Amino acid sequence: MATDSTLNHDELYIEGRWTPTADRIDVTDLTDDTTFASVSAATPADAEDALAAAQAAEAEMRETTVVQRAEWVTAIADGIEARKAELADVIVREAGKPISSARGEVDAAAERFRRAAEEARSLKGEYIEGTTEGHEGWRAIVRHEPVGTALCITPYNYPLSTTALQVAPALAAGNAVILKPASKTPISAAILAEIIVDAAEDLPEGAFGFVPGRASEIGDVLAGDDRIDAIAMTGSSGAGKHVAGVSGMVELHMELGGNAPAIVFPDADLEAASSAAASGSLKYAGQRCSAVSRVLVHEDAHDELVDRIDAEMEGFEPGDLFDEETSLGPLISHEQAEWVEELVEDALDRGATLVRGGSRSGRFFEPTLLADVPQDARIVHEEQFGPVVAVTTFDDEAGALEVANGGSLGLDAAVFTADYDRAMRVADRLEVGGVRINGAPSHGLGDIPFGGTKDSGIGREGIGYTIEAFVERKSIIL
């Protein structure tokens, strides 16, 4: 797969060729609200071409070896690291992420490709002897085969590292890959596409497709096509339900919306709890599925915890996104800022106390602390994706679980207590995919399975776990 000398960030990559289109998607620079780049917008016909090319490449991809695929993803990791400064700059601009966080995201993306090589090498088959009556002499070899073509639908909030978490395992497992990035943040994905093309020179033609475009125009064309065998998606619960509805009989691998509760019992280390609540709620302005979205504290500790969270929030202030000290940036869009404002106003209307913040200016929403939030406030049950710490109370363990398990989302949770038995008991009863004890939800680079229950997703992300989802087991019986 050779590199075109005219390579740039504004073309599709289909059938082994870079191709511009007449229609464009402009990308806003969140540092100054101007347009700093654009990408070609794929049409339904382009999506069809990518599907046909991927299907044609499946047979050749099946013949590739683990060693060959491990070399590809390792070379891609090297390419990411070589373009770290450029990628970090783009992530700051298109995602509004402070530079220190953007650099960390680039590092995480490279490491995820490296780990995909390790996981692919460790994927082993099985040898099984028959143990049931009449099958005593049977022998079975169970081998792993790629599912075929994987569609990767990636989010705006981690436009490079989450893309790596999908694309790296899909390639390492031997699948053809079609990458559809978020329309708000497609430039980092475009650079990754360039890196893939450069690094994996012997990747079969058509085995990788890059098709940025508007979901309303090409989303159903891609997700609803029988040539897609697996879909990896990170996004909202509503979008995930739609994709699941049109996709048919495919492997679905979805990490969707979250509304993580942090449950703080009166015996907890309130200093640690307040620090985790502030950072867990405000990191990347709260635009994370695993963000602490609501703090549930025992009524006896409410006032002290609120005071401590208020003090912790002093360090979170908007600033120049290229300043190493800046910890808070804008929200991805004016619409998202308006959504957060709507949830805050609803809580205040219902009787919550505004301790700090609460105001919106364009895409920026002040770091906000709400105390005494009524349990019927929308912010207690709906995903906010904003820099708001909403504190509500409970009077006993059963009440805490009732609030925490209320609603349709079940991605993450945190429990703060000095009582080991209570921590494990509450963790067992929380209806979520992951529980952090005495800390904010965190999932690392992909060595811990990450995913949710209810409307928060299907399956579990993680380098090895995603590879498992992108292969099929074939039993050959002797």
Q: Tell me: the pLDDT tens digits for 261-290?
A: 999 999 999 999 999 999 999 999 999 999
Q: Count other C-beta atoms under 10 Å from residue 277's C-beta.
A: 30
- pLDDT at position 133 is 81
Write out pLDDT tens, residues 5-26. 333 467 999 999 999 898 999 9
Q: Where are the alpha helices (DSSP H) in 419-476?
A: 420-429, 463-469
- pLDDT at position 109 is 98
> Positive or negative, the Cα torsion across 338, 339, 344, 346?
positive
Q: Mean of the pLDDT values across residues 383-408?
A: 96
- pLDDT at position 7 is 38
Task: Reply yes or no on whether the pLDDT at 450 is more than 80.
Answer: yes
Rounded Cα distance between 165 and 444, Å, is: 11
Instruction: Identify whether the C-beta of residue 370 lies closer than 8 Å to the C-beta of residue 389.
Output: yes
Write out pLDDT tens, residues 113-161. 999 999 999 888 889 888 788 777 889 999 999 999 999 999 999 999 9
Instruction: Identify whether the C-beta of residue 379 lies closer than 8 Å to the C-beta of residue 346.
Output: yes
Query: What tokens appear for 81 in the block?
Result: 């690291």
Which domains are assigned to the chain?
12-256+456-477 (3.40.605.10), 260-445 (3.40.309.10)
Strands 251-255 and 24-29: what pairing?
unpaired
Q: How many CA atoms lie within 13 A of 95 on its CB side?
A: 32
- pLDDT at position 47 is 97
Which is the catalytic residue, given 255, 312, 366, 382? Answer: 255
Rounded Cα distance between 429 and 409, Å, is: 15
Task: Reply yes or no on whether the pLDDT at 3 is more than 50.
Answer: no
- pLDDT at position 351 is 97
Which has the minimum average pLDDT: 191-195, 444-448, 464-468? 444-448
Rounded Cα distance between 369 and 377, Å, is: 14
Rounded Cα distance between 167 and 83, Å, is: 18
Please name which of 442, 333, 431, 328 lies closest in space to residue 389, comparing C-alpha atoms. Answer: 328
For residues 307-321, b (16+ Cβ closer than 10 Å) or e, as one string? ebbbebbeebebeeb
Percentage of residues of the chain with pLDDT beyond 70: 98
Which is the catalytic residue, given 11, 194, 251, 289? Answer: 289
Task: Reply yes or no on whether the pLDDT at 90 is more than 60.
Answer: yes
Percentage of residues of the chain with pLDDT beyond 90: 89
Task: Reply yes or no on whether the pLDDT at 443 is more than 90.
Answer: no
Strands 353-356 and 260-264: what pairing?
unpaired
Q: Mean of the pLDDT values across residues 182-202?
A: 95
pLDDT-based confidence at residue 84 (cuts at 50, 70, 90): very high
Q: Mean of the pLDDT values across residues 162-178?
A: 97
Q: What is the mean pLDDT of the chain?
A: 94
Q: Is 289 a catalytic residue?
A: yes
Identify the H or E element spanning 296: strand 292-298
